[in-house]
A and B are shown apart, each in its own frame.
Chain A
Amino acid sequence: MSTEDDTLRPEDFADAALAAITDAAGHDIAGAAGLLAEAGLLGISAAEDDGGLGLGLEFALSLAAIAGRENLGFPFVEQMLLARAFAGTPQAAALIAGELVATIAWQGDVGLGLASQAPFAGVCGAVLVARDGEAVLFERESLQVSEDPALDPERPQSWLGLAGAREIAVLDTEGFAALRREARLLQGAYVTGLAEAALETTAAYLETRTQFGRPLSAKQAVRHSLARMKLLVEKNKAALARALAADEFGAARDARAAFVTAAADAGFVLERAIHLHGAMGFTWEVPLHRALRAVRKIDAAFDTPAALRGLGKTFIDAA
């Protein structure tokens, strides 16, 4: 597909993807997997030999942003990444077809006997865990999962005990490094999608919420706050698109800065969105809190405060 139609663009998929993702949001994990697979989304950037569409990573990036906008209750980014990373294996075909739902433990290592920050681990069939540079896909049923509902009682974080874990497949060091690079791009798009949707919701609300005889969006302090949020969203979209592309000399770009900044800014945008909604923003009814929880879980999964310091230290060392 990638070679037959060079004019195909990610935005050409947007409407169909949005419809499938919205539809999937109303189903359990298995139902959602089926719908997403049927729409071709899980394997959009995976190998055609495995049943994927073989399109470039920019297509997966676009889908991640849409899933972020919808705050999809499914390990969508992880599934797309694993479907690409395990190319040529039975697991890739199963992931693309939605027959296997898998997630990734973004923290921990087999050597530590403990892993964590695996989105939706409790309802997945497999979990990828780091092992001294490479990574292992384990059967989820063989892991000891304990859930931590403190941040998100509806979609809790999880801790995974690895004693007696059964291996399904191994991803070599190079493959795992590539997966982590792609993860930064896709998770960056996901959190930016979350932020963009919150910004739009907030701007729309403030245009209709009238106080002192005029819409709140007419007040300069409010307008400037929204403008700053818009700037951050647009800047992060541009930075992620740039990180995805090779430089003038054909070298791949480092995606760490784009991701860490996108995650930090998404948290800021969500916090501002809640504030600008006034007391309504503090309610359970307005779903901004769910988006904030999602951003904070990704922060924790990638330890973005440490990643930010690491970004600084790397630049300092290289200067």
Chain B
Amino acid sequence: MTYQTDVTIPDPAQGRELYRAHARSWLAANLPEHMRSDSLAYRAPTLEECTLWERAMHRAGLAGMTWPTEYGGFGLTLREHLAVNKEIGALMMPESVGSVGKELAGPIIMAVGTEAQKAEFLPRILRLEDYWCQGFSEPDAGSDLARLRTKAELEGETWRINGQKIWTSGAMKATYCLLLARTGTVADKHKGLVMFAVPMNSPGITVRPIKSIDGKESFAEVFFNNVEVADSLRLGAPDEGWSAAIRVLSIERATNRMYRPWRFEAELRSLLRACKSDAVLARRLDDSDVQRRVGEIVGQIDGLKGLIEASVEHLESGAPIGARGSLSKFYWSECHQAFAGFAYDLLAQVGPQSSPLARRAKAHFTTGYLFARAETIYAGVSEVQLDIIAQRILNLAKDK
């Protein structure tokens, strides 16, 4: 695969629409047909193919928009980031294989890392020279991270890590783990939590893949057995690192994967095109119940776009993000999960007699339906998001 490299990246000062138009034209010209999940030429891309694609996107100015130029970014605002994400969402391209690095580890390092850490890690994240995984959840600490037990003990200039992480997405390919551990005991709750950038090739790390509902091994258990980590890989001070990370995470929840409503729209469009390509399914589209359901979904997508754009304007105005990210995360996951069920139902009778595009859609949306079970769980389960909205937006006192 070769990608267009003689790219002239427009100056956003000349108009944000130029930046969006650049994103649109570059993506349309460069996204390989076989990586489009709505194409008959689709085949699951390899890790290497995805990596090369994302590197090319970065060179074209379509990743790291808001990161400082000295770390490989483009020094732009969230508005350009959003403009590009609208175009990323409009195409049925693969999910990023570097999202944990770009959307979680990178912003945390930017917020709490030393200058040396920023210089070392950030450009490599954007160039996809490292893959990151997130080592937060544990068997007894899912939504409630205050219960995590993984121990970090300082011995001279080296930390010794012992414990177990679970539900670690992408651990099998990761070269670094953004690890959360504690210096004291579980009774300390949020005190004494400390973060590290742990090389995944460190002696003592064992990764055990977990087969997920969609048949893939997209997450894993990660065991840390006397793993030694240099103090220079600690991100922020103990205690301080965690609170800074929480601030970053609240922004990330509101701003990461901004393309979701536009991808949601592209998925709906591709589902309908597949139905139109098949005589039996095309008749279903005349059903008033189907039209009403599509109308509801269009309204939900429109509302999600509103929430995302409002968050961007809110942040660009200098206002704190607060708990706004919980609104869009909760709403997207609930609506998209329901859409996945609708798509599955619509395509359930597709078989060998159906059109090729309908069969392609069935393969895509059946996997999507199964994977969508995770959407109301990961990145903060729905019930936790509702608690956050109740407590921090509605200011309702919590039960004792």
Contact = CB atoms under 8 A, between A and B. Distances in A.
B272, B301, B302, B307 pick with most chain A CB within 10 angstroms: B302
Contacts of A311: 294-295, 298-299
Interface stretch (A91-99, A160-168, A215-223, A276-284): A215-223
Contacts of B247: none
Interface string A231-244: 10011111111110
A310 interface: yes
Contacts of A227: 386-387, 389-390, 393-394
B291 A313 contact: yes
| Contact residues on A (Cβ < 8 Å of other chain), bracket | 35 or more
Contacts of B293: 312
Interface string B263-307: 000001100110010000000010010111111111111111111
B394 A203 contact: yes
A234 B306 CA distance: 9
| Contact residues on B (Cβ < 8 Å of other chain), bracket | 35 or more
A137 interface: no
Given A217-B396, A220-B399, A308-B299, A242 B306 contact: yes
Interface of A: 203, 207, 214-215, 217-220, 223-224, 226-228, 230-231, 234-243, 248-250, 257-258, 260-261, 264, 305, 307-313, 315-316, 319
A220 B20 CA distance: 43
A319 B272 contact: yes
Contacts of B383: 220, 224
Given A311-B295, A312-B294, A239 B306 contact: yes
A316 B294 contact: yes
Nearest to B324: A234
B7 interface: no
B327 interface: yes
Contact of B306 (A207, A214, A235, A310): A235
Contacts of A260: 295, 299
A316 B16 CA distance: 30
The 7 A-B pairs of least Cβ separation, nearest first, read A312-B295, A312-B294, A238-B306, A261-B299, A239-B306, A319-B272, A311-B295
Nearest to B396: A217
Given A203-B396, A309-B295, A311-B298, A231 B276 contact: no
Contacts of B397: 207, 215, 217-218
Interface SS of B by simple majority: helix
Given A223-B387, A231-B327, A312-B291, A242 B309 contact: yes
B395 to A, nearest CB: 9
A142 to B, nearest CB: 38
A308 B295 contact: yes
Nearest to A313: B291
Interface in B1-30: 16-17, 20
B330 interface: yes
A258 B300 CA distance: 9
Contact of A239 (B290, B305, B394): B305
A253 B84 CA distance: 19
B197 interface: no
A310 B393 CA distance: 34
Contacts of B309: 238, 242
Contact of A235 (B296, B331, B393): B331
Given A224-B386, A242-B309, A315 B399 contact: no
A243 B400 CA distance: 42
B310 interface: yes
A235 B327 contact: yes
Nearest to A305: B292
